[in-house]
Amino acid sequence: MTAYHDLIAFQRETEALALVAGRLGWDQETMMPRGAAHQRAEEIGALETALHRRRTDPRVGEWLAALEGEALDDVARAQVRHIRRGHERATRLPDTLSAELARVTSRAQGIWAEARAADDVAHFMPTLREVVRLKREEAAALAQGGDPYDALLDDYEPGATGAGLAAMFDRMRPRLVELRERVMGAQRAPAPLMGRFETEGQMGLAREIASHFGYDWRHGRLDRSVHPFTSGSGTDVRITTRVDESDPLNCLYSTLHEVGHGTYEQGIDPAYLLTPLGNGVSMGVHESQSRIYENQLGRSRAFCGWLFGRMGEVFGLAGAADAEAFYASVNRVHSGYIRTEADEVHYNLHIMLRFDLERELIAGLLEADDLEEAWNTRFEADFGVAVDKPSNGVLQDVHWSVGLFGYFPTYSLGNVYAGCLHTALRAAVPTLEDDLARGHAESATAWLRETVQRHGGLYQPAELIERACGFAPHEGPLLDYLDTKFGALYGV
């Protein structure tokens, strides 16, 4: 077993360096001086070069070869599986391509933020063309004759394919569209929250909610960023949110979403720290945690009743007449532009739009210069509303600027997983409704920690969800949940 111990010792150093790179990314989005963007890109590029060399180190291949046929326990087999997969992917990419991708996407993030703030697509377009070119090169190198998009998707959801996800979306779309049409045609029309909610109060309430959902402040922090995100793993897991003083739900539910990600990383077995098992197993599973916290738990009638009371205490008003009106406002269905602010009925339609467009981009069927027109045409067809400005359209998400092609569909896959987990959670924790009515979800986090979070990367994604739920994951529970919830809310 000397080869295994040598391999894991080497991998721990690689994982530690990757976390350092991630911390630079966190700093870039929260605290870095604006004028440091070019230097930061060089720093991240240098780190990525060092990481790529470690991931392609010939010794990794030699250690893996020495372990062929060895009798390994479940944990060791899983460690080796992850390292082999990472090594094989890394060895397909030239050092220069990895470093160039890191530098370009680091710079692109700041350029995207400037373009978004100015609603200036032309300012971002040369950078996006470069990112797309590099991602096509990366996809072709990884695919080795296979589907390029699948090669990128595999980085976020091992085992998933574009064709498989497209088939799932084709099954989901008719029921989502039918529900949307029923709800939008209903006589009921909940009003949005009204009032002004100061930043300090929003951030304080966001921290309180994070605590009630089990986020560990000894190993985490909450900051503000343009686009909310989670960074880190193990004993240092940081989350961000954003604030709009006319819309407190944006801050509170963005925070809850990131708390789902954060508690997942904090909940992984400490024995897996700085190893491939010490991270969430896939972005689909990660999104299942963020989405169940944000939606099935955070937007439930029970939790909204508690939140209504706290909003009144913190701000002197809750923005709605009573708890039931507040619950309706939190779950208001409307054809908004912004994915992160979308209601549960529309959310997956936002993802399907992005999924289709990025598959076409990587396949060469759509060029970056034509992306805005394609986005606007598809959005109006799907949502019945014309995009009014780029920050509400093609510039709204950070993902493509930082090269995250293949990431978007994992949001909907996470919703599907969350639907399955919610069904099992309700059966396993009979006190859940009462807990949520007190503003607490630690019992839900405890169940999720035991069934999902603590395992880290030990199991394959679909296997992990099946072990937690007792049945293979499928879209049925999510669609049934949406039909039941919004049918009752809108009387349809």
Residue 287 annotated as binding site: yes
Bridge partners (DSSP) listed for residue 466: none
Rounded Cα distance, 320 and 303, in Å: 15
Cβ atoms of residues 288 and 465 within 8 Å = yes
Cβ atoms of residues 308 and 323 within 8 Å = yes
Query: Active site residue: 258, 341, 358, 372, which one?
Result: 258
Query: Six-digit token pair at 295?
Result: 């939606």
| Closest listed residue to residue 97, CA positions, set 157, 126, 56, 64 | 56
H or E stretch covering 324: helix 323-330
Instruction: Say whether 208 is catalytic.
Output: no
Bridge partners (DSSP) listed for residue 221: 238
Rounded Cα distance, 276 and 231, in Å: 16
Is the backbone of residue 341 left (phi > 0), alpha (psi -120 to 50) or beta? Answer: alpha
Residue 132 backbone dihedrals phi, psi, to 5 degrees: -60, -45
Query: Six-digit token pair at 314?
Result: 């913190």
One-character DSSP codes across 50-94: HHHHHHT-HHHHHHHHHTTT----HHHHHHHHHHHHHHHHHHTS-
Residue 88 annotated as binding site: no
What's 126-177 look like in SS3? HHHHHHHHHHHHHHHHHHCCCCHHHHHHCCCCCCCCHHHHHHHHHHHHHHHH
Spatial CB neighbours of 125, under 8 Å, sequence gap ≥ 6: 368, 369
Residue 48 annotated as binding site: no
Cβ atoms of residues 14 and 90 within 8 Å = no
Sheet order of strands, 230-233 included: 220-224, 236-241, 230-233
| Closest listed residue to residue 131, CA positions, set 116, 153, 160, 109 | 109
Residues in binding site: 257, 261, 287
Catalytic residues: 258
Residues in binding site for Zn(2+): 257, 261, 287
